[in-house]
Amino acid sequence: MACHLLAANRTLGRFSRLIFSTATAAIFAISLCGCKSETTKSDASGGGAGGEIVLGHYASMTGGEATFGRSTDNGIRLAIDEINAAGGINGKQVRIITYDDKGEKAEAGTAVTRLVTKDNVIAVLGEVASGLSLVAAPICQEYGVPMVSPSSTNPEVTEKGDMIFRVCFIDPFQAYACAKFAREHEGLKAKKAAVLFDQTSPYAVGLKDEFSKSFKRQGGEVIASEAYQKGDPDFSAQLTSIRASEPDVVFIPGYYTDVGNIAIQARRLGIKVPLLGGDGWDSEKLGEIAGDSINGCFYSNHYAPEGPDPHVQEFLKKYKARYSGTPDCLAGLGYDSAKIVCDAIGKASSSKGADVAAQLSKVKDFEGVTGKISIDANRNAVKPAVILEMKNGKPTYVTTIQPE
Protein backbone atom coordinates (compact mmCIF):
# COMPACT_ATOMS: atom_id res chain seq x y z
CA MET A 1 0.00 0.00 0.00
CA ALA A 2 2.74 2.44 0.91
CA CYS A 3 4.55 1.56 -2.34
CA HIS A 4 1.41 2.25 -4.40
CA LEU A 5 0.82 5.57 -2.63
CA LEU A 6 4.47 6.59 -3.11
CA ALA A 7 4.28 5.76 -6.82
CA ALA A 8 1.05 7.72 -7.15
CA ASN A 9 2.55 10.70 -5.36
CA ARG A 10 5.60 10.62 -7.62
CA THR A 11 3.36 10.49 -10.72
CA LEU A 12 1.25 13.38 -9.40
CA GLY A 13 4.42 15.33 -8.58
CA ARG A 14 5.82 14.85 -12.05
CA PHE A 15 2.48 15.91 -13.58
CA SER A 16 2.32 19.04 -11.37
CA ARG A 17 5.87 20.00 -12.25
CA LEU A 18 5.09 19.54 -15.95
CA ILE A 19 2.05 21.82 -15.71
CA PHE A 20 4.05 24.43 -13.76
CA SER A 21 6.97 24.27 -16.20
CA THR A 22 4.68 24.62 -19.23
CA ALA A 23 2.80 27.52 -17.69
CA THR A 24 6.01 29.27 -16.70
CA ALA A 25 7.42 28.89 -20.22
CA ALA A 26 4.22 30.28 -21.71
CA ILE A 27 4.26 33.28 -19.39
CA PHE A 28 7.95 33.90 -20.17
CA ALA A 29 7.28 33.71 -23.92
CA ILE A 30 4.36 36.14 -23.63
CA SER A 31 6.54 38.48 -21.56
CA LEU A 32 9.30 38.43 -24.18
CA CYS A 33 6.83 39.10 -26.99
CA GLY A 34 5.34 41.95 -25.00
CA CYS A 35 8.75 43.52 -24.41
CA LYS A 36 9.72 43.44 -28.08
CA SER A 37 6.35 44.85 -29.14
CA GLU A 38 6.59 47.74 -26.68
CA THR A 39 10.13 48.57 -27.77
CA THR A 40 9.29 48.46 -31.46
CA LYS A 41 6.42 50.86 -30.89
CA SER A 42 8.61 53.13 -28.72
CA ASP A 43 6.23 53.81 -25.84
CA ALA A 44 4.68 57.20 -26.57
CA SER A 45 4.44 58.01 -22.87
CA GLY A 46 8.15 58.71 -22.82
CA GLY A 47 9.84 55.38 -22.25
CA GLY A 48 9.38 55.07 -18.51
CA ALA A 49 6.99 54.96 -15.58
CA GLY A 50 5.28 58.24 -14.75
CA GLY A 51 6.10 59.75 -18.12
CA GLU A 52 9.83 60.03 -17.49
CA ILE A 53 12.23 59.78 -20.42
CA VAL A 54 14.60 56.83 -20.12
CA LEU A 55 17.90 56.63 -21.99
CA GLY A 56 20.36 53.73 -22.00
CA HIS A 57 24.15 53.68 -21.88
CA TYR A 58 26.43 50.66 -22.30
CA ALA A 59 30.11 51.09 -21.51
CA SER A 60 33.32 49.52 -20.22
CA MET A 61 32.87 50.60 -16.61
CA THR A 62 35.34 47.86 -15.65
CA GLY A 63 38.02 45.99 -17.60
CA GLY A 64 41.10 47.03 -19.54
CA GLU A 65 39.63 50.27 -20.92
CA ALA A 66 37.58 51.23 -17.86
CA THR A 67 38.56 54.90 -18.01
CA PHE A 68 36.76 55.12 -21.36
CA GLY A 69 33.43 54.00 -19.93
CA ARG A 70 33.68 55.91 -16.68
CA SER A 71 34.63 59.18 -18.35
CA THR A 72 31.84 58.86 -20.91
CA ASP A 73 29.30 58.05 -18.19
CA ASN A 74 30.44 61.04 -16.15
CA GLY A 75 29.90 63.35 -19.11
CA ILE A 76 26.49 61.88 -19.89
CA ARG A 77 25.28 62.21 -16.30
CA LEU A 78 26.54 65.79 -16.03
CA ALA A 79 24.58 66.72 -19.16
CA ILE A 80 21.40 64.96 -18.02
CA ASP A 81 21.52 66.57 -14.57
CA GLU A 82 21.77 69.97 -16.25
CA ILE A 83 18.83 69.19 -18.50
CA ASN A 84 16.72 68.01 -15.57
CA ALA A 85 17.63 71.06 -13.50
CA ALA A 86 16.38 73.23 -16.37
CA GLY A 87 13.01 71.45 -16.41
CA GLY A 88 13.78 68.29 -18.35
CA ILE A 89 12.46 67.60 -21.84
CA ASN A 90 9.02 69.08 -22.43
CA GLY A 91 8.42 68.91 -18.69
CA LYS A 92 9.58 65.31 -18.28
CA GLN A 93 12.62 64.31 -16.26
CA VAL A 94 15.33 62.23 -17.92
CA ARG A 95 16.73 59.04 -16.39
CA ILE A 96 19.86 57.25 -17.58
CA ILE A 97 20.45 53.52 -17.15
CA THR A 98 24.08 52.41 -17.52
CA TYR A 99 25.17 48.79 -17.92
CA ASP A 100 28.77 47.65 -17.68
CA ASP A 101 29.84 45.67 -20.75
CA LYS A 102 33.32 45.07 -19.28
CA GLY A 103 34.84 45.82 -22.67
CA GLU A 104 33.57 42.47 -24.00
CA LYS A 105 31.48 41.88 -27.13
CA ALA A 106 29.13 39.33 -25.58
CA GLU A 107 28.46 41.60 -22.61
CA ALA A 108 27.80 44.56 -24.93
CA GLY A 109 25.21 42.57 -26.86
CA THR A 110 23.51 41.44 -23.66
CA ALA A 111 23.49 44.96 -22.20
CA VAL A 112 21.95 46.59 -25.26
CA THR A 113 19.38 43.85 -25.71
CA ARG A 114 18.28 44.40 -22.13
CA LEU A 115 18.11 48.17 -22.60
CA VAL A 116 15.84 47.94 -25.64
CA THR A 117 13.69 44.94 -24.67
CA LYS A 118 13.40 45.23 -20.89
CA ASP A 119 14.04 48.86 -20.02
CA ASN A 120 12.26 50.24 -23.12
CA VAL A 121 14.71 53.10 -23.56
CA ILE A 122 13.98 55.78 -26.13
CA ALA A 123 17.61 55.95 -27.27
CA VAL A 124 20.93 54.24 -26.54
CA LEU A 125 24.27 55.95 -25.97
CA GLY A 126 27.50 54.03 -26.58
CA GLU A 127 29.98 52.55 -27.13
CA VAL A 128 33.49 54.02 -27.14
CA ALA A 129 35.15 50.98 -28.74
CA SER A 130 34.12 50.49 -32.36
CA GLY A 131 34.19 46.70 -31.99
CA LEU A 132 31.52 46.87 -29.30
CA SER A 133 29.40 49.39 -31.20
CA LEU A 134 29.46 47.04 -34.19
CA VAL A 135 27.90 44.35 -31.97
CA ALA A 136 25.21 46.61 -30.54
CA ALA A 137 24.25 48.61 -33.64
CA PRO A 138 22.35 45.77 -35.37
CA ILE A 139 20.31 45.20 -32.21
CA CYS A 140 19.25 48.84 -32.00
CA GLN A 141 18.53 48.86 -35.73
CA GLU A 142 16.34 45.75 -35.43
CA TYR A 143 14.24 47.24 -32.64
CA GLY A 144 14.03 50.71 -34.17
CA VAL A 145 15.81 52.41 -31.25
CA PRO A 146 18.25 55.22 -32.14
CA MET A 147 21.84 54.59 -31.03
CA VAL A 148 24.35 57.42 -30.78
CA SER A 149 27.99 56.51 -30.29
CA PRO A 150 29.97 59.21 -28.52
CA SER A 151 33.32 58.08 -29.89
CA SER A 152 33.37 54.98 -32.12
CA THR A 153 35.31 56.15 -35.17
CA ASN A 154 35.21 53.06 -37.42
CA PRO A 155 33.12 53.96 -40.53
CA GLU A 156 31.25 50.63 -40.44
CA VAL A 157 29.40 51.55 -37.23
CA THR A 158 26.88 53.91 -38.85
CA GLU A 159 26.65 51.69 -41.93
CA LYS A 160 24.62 49.24 -39.81
CA GLY A 161 21.44 51.22 -40.42
CA ASP A 162 19.52 54.47 -40.37
CA MET A 163 19.07 54.34 -36.58
CA ILE A 164 22.81 54.54 -35.90
CA PHE A 165 24.57 57.89 -35.37
CA ARG A 166 27.76 59.26 -33.88
CA VAL A 167 29.01 62.64 -32.59
CA CYS A 168 32.69 62.01 -33.30
CA PHE A 169 34.69 62.21 -36.52
CA ILE A 170 35.43 58.97 -38.38
CA ASP A 171 38.72 57.16 -39.04
CA PRO A 172 39.33 58.35 -42.60
CA PHE A 173 39.42 61.95 -41.36
CA GLN A 174 41.31 61.11 -38.17
CA ALA A 175 43.88 59.22 -40.26
CA TYR A 176 44.14 62.14 -42.66
CA ALA A 177 44.76 64.50 -39.74
CA CYS A 178 47.51 62.27 -38.32
CA ALA A 179 49.16 61.82 -41.72
CA LYS A 180 48.99 65.52 -42.51
CA PHE A 181 50.52 66.36 -39.14
CA ALA A 182 53.27 63.76 -39.58
CA ARG A 183 54.15 65.07 -43.03
CA GLU A 184 53.92 68.82 -42.34
CA HIS A 185 54.64 69.51 -38.67
CA GLU A 186 57.91 71.38 -38.32
CA GLY A 187 59.23 68.97 -35.72
CA LEU A 188 58.47 65.89 -37.84
CA LYS A 189 58.38 66.38 -41.62
CA ALA A 190 58.18 62.58 -41.77
CA LYS A 191 58.91 60.85 -45.05
CA LYS A 192 58.92 57.27 -43.76
CA ALA A 193 56.41 55.78 -41.31
CA ALA A 194 56.15 52.43 -39.58
CA VAL A 195 52.85 51.07 -38.24
CA LEU A 196 52.21 48.88 -35.19
CA PHE A 197 48.56 47.90 -34.68
CA ASP A 198 46.22 45.65 -32.71
CA GLN A 199 45.00 43.13 -35.27
CA THR A 200 42.04 42.12 -33.07
CA SER A 201 40.55 45.63 -32.93
CA PRO A 202 38.32 46.98 -35.74
CA TYR A 203 39.24 50.47 -34.51
CA ALA A 204 42.98 49.86 -34.81
CA VAL A 205 42.80 47.97 -38.10
CA GLY A 206 40.57 50.59 -39.71
CA LEU A 207 42.72 53.49 -38.53
CA LYS A 208 45.89 51.71 -39.65
CA ASP A 209 44.49 51.15 -43.13
CA GLU A 210 43.29 54.73 -43.50
CA PHE A 211 46.52 56.23 -42.17
CA SER A 212 48.61 54.15 -44.55
CA LYS A 213 46.53 55.27 -47.55
CA SER A 214 46.51 58.92 -46.49
CA PHE A 215 50.23 59.04 -45.65
CA LYS A 216 51.04 57.63 -49.11
CA ARG A 217 48.66 60.06 -50.84
CA GLN A 218 50.47 62.91 -49.12
CA GLY A 219 53.83 61.77 -50.46
CA GLY A 220 55.06 59.59 -47.60
CA GLU A 221 56.09 55.94 -47.53
CA VAL A 222 54.94 53.24 -45.10
CA ILE A 223 58.05 51.09 -44.76
CA ALA A 224 56.96 48.61 -42.06
CA SER A 225 53.69 47.22 -40.71
CA GLU A 226 53.66 44.99 -37.61
CA ALA A 227 50.73 43.49 -35.70
CA TYR A 228 50.04 42.52 -32.08
CA GLN A 229 47.05 41.39 -30.05
CA LYS A 230 45.42 43.34 -27.24
CA GLY A 231 47.06 42.55 -23.92
CA ASP A 232 50.31 41.18 -25.33
CA PRO A 233 53.08 41.73 -22.75
CA ASP A 234 56.05 41.63 -25.14
CA PHE A 235 56.41 43.71 -28.31
CA SER A 236 60.16 43.28 -28.74
CA ALA A 237 60.00 41.25 -31.99
CA GLN A 238 57.76 43.79 -33.72
CA LEU A 239 59.72 46.76 -32.40
CA THR A 240 63.06 45.24 -33.41
CA SER A 241 61.76 44.88 -36.97
CA ILE A 242 60.48 48.46 -36.92
CA ARG A 243 63.81 49.75 -35.61
CA ALA A 244 65.62 48.08 -38.52
CA SER A 245 63.40 49.92 -41.03
CA GLU A 246 64.56 53.31 -39.65
CA PRO A 247 61.25 55.21 -39.75
CA ASP A 248 60.78 58.91 -39.04
CA VAL A 249 57.61 58.20 -37.04
CA VAL A 250 55.81 55.12 -35.67
CA PHE A 251 52.02 55.16 -35.95
CA ILE A 252 50.28 53.13 -33.20
CA PRO A 253 46.46 53.19 -33.55
CA GLY A 254 45.73 51.31 -30.33
CA TYR A 255 44.31 51.91 -26.87
CA TYR A 256 46.22 53.52 -24.02
CA THR A 257 46.86 50.30 -22.09
CA ASP A 258 48.92 48.70 -24.84
CA VAL A 259 50.37 52.00 -26.11
CA GLY A 260 51.91 52.76 -22.73
CA ASN A 261 53.73 49.43 -22.65
CA ILE A 262 54.79 49.75 -26.29
CA ALA A 263 56.31 53.18 -25.60
CA ILE A 264 58.38 51.84 -22.70
CA GLN A 265 59.68 48.90 -24.72
CA ALA A 266 60.35 51.05 -27.81
CA ARG A 267 62.59 53.40 -25.83
CA ARG A 268 64.42 50.49 -24.22
CA LEU A 269 65.20 49.17 -27.69
CA GLY A 270 66.60 52.51 -28.77
CA ILE A 271 63.71 53.74 -30.89
CA LYS A 272 63.88 57.49 -30.38
CA VAL A 273 61.55 58.80 -33.09
CA PRO A 274 58.13 60.17 -32.06
CA LEU A 275 55.20 57.81 -31.67
CA LEU A 276 51.88 58.94 -33.13
CA GLY A 277 48.35 57.67 -32.53
CA GLY A 278 44.64 58.31 -32.49
CA ASP A 279 42.04 59.14 -29.89
CA GLY A 280 42.35 55.69 -28.32
CA TRP A 281 45.39 57.10 -26.51
CA ASP A 282 43.30 59.59 -24.58
CA SER A 283 43.39 58.61 -20.91
CA GLU A 284 45.10 59.93 -17.81
CA LYS A 285 46.41 56.39 -17.44
CA LEU A 286 48.63 56.74 -20.52
CA GLY A 287 51.12 58.98 -18.75
CA GLU A 288 50.92 56.87 -15.60
CA ILE A 289 51.74 53.69 -17.51
CA ALA A 290 54.39 55.04 -19.89
CA GLY A 291 56.07 57.68 -17.74
CA ASP A 292 58.79 59.63 -19.55
CA SER A 293 58.72 57.18 -22.47
CA ILE A 294 55.61 58.82 -23.92
CA ASN A 295 56.89 62.41 -23.74
CA GLY A 296 57.34 64.01 -27.14
CA CYS A 297 54.72 61.75 -28.72
CA PHE A 298 51.51 62.93 -30.40
CA TYR A 299 47.91 61.86 -30.90
CA SER A 300 44.76 63.13 -32.56
CA ASN A 301 41.79 63.97 -30.39
CA HIS A 302 38.36 65.58 -30.30
CA TYR A 303 39.13 68.58 -28.12
CA ALA A 304 41.84 70.17 -26.01
CA PRO A 305 40.93 70.98 -22.39
CA GLU A 306 43.06 74.12 -22.37
CA GLY A 307 41.37 75.53 -25.47
CA PRO A 308 39.94 79.08 -25.25
CA ASP A 309 36.42 78.12 -26.36
CA PRO A 310 33.97 79.34 -23.68
CA HIS A 311 31.92 76.14 -24.03
CA VAL A 312 35.02 74.14 -23.15
CA GLN A 313 35.94 76.30 -20.20
CA GLU A 314 32.43 76.19 -18.75
CA PHE A 315 32.38 72.40 -19.15
CA LEU A 316 35.76 72.10 -17.41
CA LYS A 317 34.53 74.20 -14.50
CA LYS A 318 31.38 72.12 -14.01
CA TYR A 319 33.13 68.79 -14.48
CA LYS A 320 35.91 69.60 -12.01
CA ALA A 321 33.37 70.77 -9.43
CA ARG A 322 31.54 67.47 -9.63
CA TYR A 323 34.28 64.91 -10.31
CA SER A 324 37.45 66.64 -9.08
CA GLY A 325 39.43 65.96 -12.23
CA THR A 326 40.12 67.23 -15.73
CA PRO A 327 37.73 65.69 -18.28
CA ASP A 328 39.28 63.77 -21.15
CA CYS A 329 37.74 63.76 -24.62
CA LEU A 330 35.52 60.77 -23.73
CA ALA A 331 33.82 62.84 -21.04
CA GLY A 332 33.31 65.69 -23.48
CA LEU A 333 31.90 63.38 -26.15
CA GLY A 334 29.60 61.71 -23.62
CA TYR A 335 28.35 65.13 -22.59
CA ASP A 336 27.77 66.20 -26.20
CA SER A 337 26.04 62.95 -27.17
CA ALA A 338 23.57 63.25 -24.27
CA LYS A 339 22.84 66.88 -25.10
CA ILE A 340 22.26 66.12 -28.78
CA VAL A 341 20.01 63.14 -28.07
CA CYS A 342 17.90 65.06 -25.55
CA ASP A 343 17.62 68.01 -27.93
CA ALA A 344 16.40 65.66 -30.68
CA ILE A 345 13.86 64.01 -28.37
CA GLY A 346 12.54 67.42 -27.38
CA LYS A 347 12.05 68.45 -31.01
CA ALA A 348 10.65 65.12 -32.25
CA SER A 349 6.93 64.83 -33.01
CA SER A 350 6.82 61.74 -30.77
CA SER A 351 9.16 59.50 -28.81
CA LYS A 352 9.05 56.83 -31.52
CA GLY A 353 12.45 55.79 -32.74
CA ALA A 354 11.88 56.93 -36.31
CA ASP A 355 10.80 60.41 -35.19
CA VAL A 356 13.80 60.84 -32.88
CA ALA A 357 16.14 59.57 -35.61
CA ALA A 358 14.65 62.09 -38.04
CA GLN A 359 15.62 64.91 -35.68
CA LEU A 360 19.10 63.50 -35.13
CA SER A 361 19.57 63.57 -38.91
CA LYS A 362 18.90 67.32 -38.89
CA VAL A 363 21.63 68.27 -36.37
CA LYS A 364 23.63 71.18 -37.79
CA ASP A 365 26.22 73.43 -36.14
CA PHE A 366 25.38 72.16 -32.67
CA GLU A 367 27.64 73.99 -30.22
CA GLY A 368 29.28 71.16 -28.30
CA VAL A 369 32.26 71.15 -25.98
CA THR A 370 34.11 69.00 -28.54
CA GLY A 371 33.41 71.47 -31.33
CA LYS A 372 30.62 72.54 -33.62
CA ILE A 373 28.82 69.34 -34.66
CA SER A 374 26.83 68.66 -37.82
CA ILE A 375 25.47 65.26 -38.82
CA ASP A 376 25.98 64.35 -42.48
CA ALA A 377 23.91 62.13 -44.78
CA ASN A 378 25.71 59.04 -43.46
CA ARG A 379 24.88 59.97 -39.85
CA ASN A 380 28.50 60.85 -39.06
CA ALA A 381 29.69 64.03 -37.38
CA VAL A 382 31.59 66.59 -39.42
CA LYS A 383 34.05 68.43 -37.18
CA PRO A 384 37.77 69.26 -36.80
CA ALA A 385 40.45 67.29 -34.96
CA VAL A 386 43.13 68.54 -32.62
CA ILE A 387 46.66 67.20 -32.23
CA LEU A 388 48.04 66.89 -28.71
CA GLU A 389 51.60 66.33 -27.54
CA MET A 390 52.47 64.42 -24.38
CA LYS A 391 54.62 66.58 -22.12
CA ASN A 392 55.50 65.50 -18.59
CA GLY A 393 52.87 62.79 -18.88
CA LYS A 394 50.09 65.24 -19.81
CA PRO A 395 48.51 66.08 -23.19
CA THR A 396 49.06 69.63 -24.45
CA TYR A 397 47.50 71.33 -27.44
CA VAL A 398 49.58 71.63 -30.62
CA THR A 399 47.26 72.40 -33.53
CA THR A 400 43.80 71.99 -35.07
CA ILE A 401 43.23 70.25 -38.39
CA GLN A 402 40.05 71.02 -40.30
CA PRO A 403 38.16 68.56 -42.51
CA GLU A 404 39.31 68.46 -46.14
Could you confirm whether domain 49-169+307-383 is CATH 3.90.1150.10? no
Taking the domains of the chain in order of start, what are their residue ranges?
A: 49-169+307-383, 172-301
Using 70 as the pLDDT threshold, list the residues of the chain that sit under it. Answer: 1-50
pLDDT for 21? 39
What is the rounded distance in angstroms from the CA atom of residue 306 to the CA atom of residue 298?
16
- 156 close to 210: Cβ distance less than 8 angstroms: no
Q: CATH fold of 172-301, please?
A: Rossmann fold (3.40.50)
The pLDDT, as a whole number, for residue 22 is: 39
Q: What is the pLDDT of residue 50?
A: 59
Q: Return the pLDDT at 41.
A: 30
> What pTM was estimated for this model as a whole?
0.81
